[in-house]
Chain A
Amino acid sequence: MSVVTKGAKGDRVLMMGNDAIARGALEAGVKVVAGYPGTPSSEILQTLAQAADEHGLYVEWSANEKVGLEVAAAASFAGLRSMAVMKQVGVNVASDFLLHLAEYGTRAGMVLVSCEDPGALSSTNEGDSRPYAKMMEFPLVEPGDFQEAQDMTKWCFELSEEIRNVVMLRSVTRMSHASGNLTLGEIKPSYKKADFKFEGGFMDQLTGPALTFPSLVEPMHQRQLAKLGRVREIFETCPFNTYTGPAQPELLLISSSAAYMYSREAIHMLGLENEVGLLKLGTTWPLPPQLLKRHLASSSKVLVVEEGTPFLEDNVKALTADSAEQVGIKKFYGRSSGPLLPTNELNPDLVAGALADIFKLSLPGAPADYAKKAAGLATENAPARALTFCPGCPHRASYWLINQALKLDNRRGFLCGDIGCYTLGAISCGFNALKTSHAMGSGTGVASGFGKLGQFGMDQPVMAICGDSTFFHAVMPALVNAVHNNSDMILVVVDNSGTAMTGFQPHPGTPLDAAGNALPTVDIAKLCEAIGAEVVIADPFEMEATGQTILDLLDQKGGVRVLILRQACALSPGKKGKKLFDMELDQKICMGTDCGCNRLCTRVFRCPGLIWDPQEQKTKIDEVICVGCGVCASICPSGAIKKSEVA
């Protein structure tokens, strides 16, 4: 953190890609930063929040990405450089505003950073937001290493200011969450008074009203396309587009982003430095046509290596078709043409595999007998490690109670959910209770629809679940819809006092801003009541009472009932490292498999803080892992697990 904000010009440092992006923004004199947390993007805003006081920034975690983009745009309209930060799915949320913003344009430099997650390491999709740049006609750049993550971010602000439009900088997990060495640039102190000028004419972008309007669409669209034309010229000579390799390569490899690092390594692994030319594109929309044509003319084979959909590949193909007379007919390889697969993230091995395939070479690696032995030993000695809720996680208790209640109710009731740690409710750690899960807030919208299917004979109870941060992000409109349309459903808000999944960022329901300063809170319960729902608040760790509450809510007929299950995340700053209870397992009472419970605690509840000892046929507590939430004591029917207040 300190290096990002305090490191001096010329210092050579080790920095995470996200910190390099934050540093680049500071060097550019960014003043306002807004966004919504999402892996792998969250550290950028967190780092800048820590620097807010020192560098005179305004940094906010917004209620959702669309609002974040709007907050950033306001700063640009008022003459301050601004940045909006989100993960790939956030761009979808922001996209409606983005379309209008790109049509009208910006004033002071404005950058949209989208950090994407090919391979879905921490996502439920492989969304690629690059096509938005083409669809909505604004420039897109992708840094290819850590130095570029810093330098291109800084440059994006200048580019945005030159063309007066938003610029998208796209990163991926292996850039954002990877670290490498770079040399710092300079942070220059600056102050600018914010002032929104609206006195000029509609088409005066610097002094007129900032708006899109039916009769202005055509001239604005023409202006937007002229900007894009200027961007093409700038990109033709952009130093972030580089070429290494022979003048007439056997194969031209075109790459961008982290895929560039894999490509470089793959060429090295196979010793193809004299055969393959590597064109790294930092600017991926619009493509600089002259630069591309020069390189396309140099080789008859082209391999495009990129993270995500075949966006670059398709655009290079279109450009080749357009200039076939100059560049000739090509044999294309890539994620669309093969041999690279169109799904999952890339790595050096996959790129080397594609090169080996094209050049008919064999791939270097560990000796075959070693690989076989190691694979066999891994099968024997490395049991599958499924994701699970943390020890002491209130979601485990909440899902236990919801699942028990739905089973007791016995009408095949089900739970609709969405994105957060609680998505794990779909697998065994949440007792497979979750039956639908899509976008942020979608559980409530889908439940609102299910809750209206009674007229078609549906007689299953409908429940939705959402987290506290998600409630503000996208659940509110769905809840309004459900109440207004008199849907028959229960919404469970699992309120763990923060945006837990992404590292416990604050949200409108919590009393702090991104830097830890006090802010007014918005009360979820009061909000739900004001919307017109019946609201009950309970503690998931009070298992008996809360279990009964859920059963009572299931018994009620019609309308929207909201249950707020309030218990802080086990990793929250207030709880982390503190035990609620001392836990003890009385080995004299635990009968293991002989107990009628059939190992309810380990076989079904499956908290990582428990150990099943197959030799002794008993349950034990893992003192290193257990955080003493006490929930398993409520589950053990024989009273073998005991909790006592921490002395």
Chain B
Amino acid sequence: MSLKQLSADPYNIIITGVGGQGNVLASRLLGQILTREGYWATIGETFGASQRGGSVMSHLRISSQSAWSPQIPRGRAHFVISLEPSETFRVLAAYGNPQTLVIWNTRPIHPVSVIAGEAAYPSHQEVVKGLDQISAKHWPLDATSHAQKLGNPILGNIMMIGALSAVSELPITPELFEDALRQMMPASKIPINLQAFNLGRGEILKINGAA
């Protein structure tokens, strides 16, 4: 099998969000797709206590040559998928660089410090302005609202994979995604997940088309 040469090897993706948003499933689906394509995929993630309302991160490393460390070195993320706006900044501060690309879900999940009134949460405009400064390009996506319309807000994670497939150089197609789904979930859940994937992909293609 001849593998498509990636612009960077390893190609480093971070999926971030808040515990319970489904970033573990998202990283595994992506890893599954790329493994079946013949790449080496290494995923590092935290779960356990951090699931209890804390920030979570999955590190995904794609290589045509070998396995890599399950933790991405600082400043070396090529792509950040963020399921929650403010978490994007936490990740970029540690792993971003001027070339980093970002897809972010615009729906906030307020930390308890904000709920308690001890800290402020940035407005949509502040997030956009901030990301303009520290990403090469970023795509906002109201994934949670779309997913709610599909019947379950957690499908936002699948929408983000669809979105990634529309903009990244990684070979992720709806067919490969469906194939990976079949490996990981019962047949009854596949149509709704495919719908979410295509919706995310379509939204980003719409933004790109308009630009």
Contact = CB atoms under 8 A, between A and B. Distances in A.
Interface of A: 2-3, 12-14, 39-40, 121-123, 145-146, 173-175, 177-181, 258, 261-262, 264-265, 269, 347-349, 352, 364-367, 370-371, 373-375, 377-378, 380-390, 421, 424, 428-429, 501-502, 599, 602-604, 606-608, 610-612, 614, 622, 624-625
Contact of B69 (A122, A262, A373, A624): A262
Contact of B127 (A14, A381, A384): A381
A488 B48 CA distance: 35
A390 B44 contact: no
A610 B90 contact: no
Interface in B140-176: 144, 148, 153
B41 A14 contact: yes
Interface of B: 18, 20, 28, 31-32, 35, 40-50, 52-55, 67-76, 85-87, 89-90, 92-93, 96-98, 107, 109-117, 119-122, 126-127, 130, 133-134, 144, 148, 153, 183
12 contacts: A179-B43, A262-B69, A352-B73, A373-B133, A377-B93, A377-B134, A381-B86, A383-B120, A385-B53, A385-B55, A429-B53, A608-B112
A382 B113 CA distance: 11
Contacts of B153: 624
Contacts of B134: 370, 373-374, 377
B44 A174 contact: yes
Nearest to B92: A374
A178 B96 CA distance: 21
Given A180-B70, A181-B41, A13 B35 contact: yes
B74 A39 contact: no
Contacts of B67: 145-146, 180-181, 261
Given A265-B73, A370-B98, A373-B134, A625 B93 contact: no
A608 B114 CA distance: 10
Given A179-B42, A181-B41, A612-B114, 17 more contacts: A14-B41, A40-B48, A121-B48, A145-B67, A177-B47, A179-B41, A180-B40, A347-B69, A348-B69, A366-B74, A370-B75, A377-B89, A381-B130, A390-B20, A424-B52, A608-B53, A612-B110
A570 to B, nearest CB: 10
Contact of A374 (B47, B72, B93): B93
B115 A606 contact: yes
Contacts, number: 215
A347 B111 contact: no
Contacts of A380: 89, 122, 126, 130
B70 A178 contact: yes
A347 B98 CA distance: 23
A608 B115 CA distance: 7
Nearest to B31: A14
A83 B190 CA distance: 36
A2 B184 CA distance: 8
B170 to A, nearest CB: 15
B54 A387 contact: yes
Contacts of A145: 67
B165 to A, nearest CB: 18
Contacts of A604: 116
Given A384-B113, A599-B117, A608-B110, A177 B45 contact: yes
Contacts of A40: 48
Nearest to A261: B69
Contacts of B126: 380-381
Contact of B74 (A2, A3, A262, A365): A365
A407 to B, nearest CB: 19
Given A174-B70, A269-B73, A373-B134, A383 B54 contact: no
A607 B115 CA distance: 8
Contacts of B113: 383-386
Contacts of B68: 261, 265
B69 A179 contact: no
B172 to A, nearest CB: 15
Nearest to B135: A374
Contacts of B144: 624
B42 to A, nearest CB: 5
Contacts of A429: 53, 112
A40 B40 CA distance: 23
A358 B134 CA distance: 32
Nearest to B43: A179
A367 B96 CA distance: 10
A374 B31 contact: no
Nearest to B59: A178
A428 B144 CA distance: 28
B89 A14 contact: no
Contacts of A383: 86, 111, 113-114, 119-121
Contacts of A386: 53-54, 111-113
A378 B92 contact: yes
Contacts of B111: 383-386
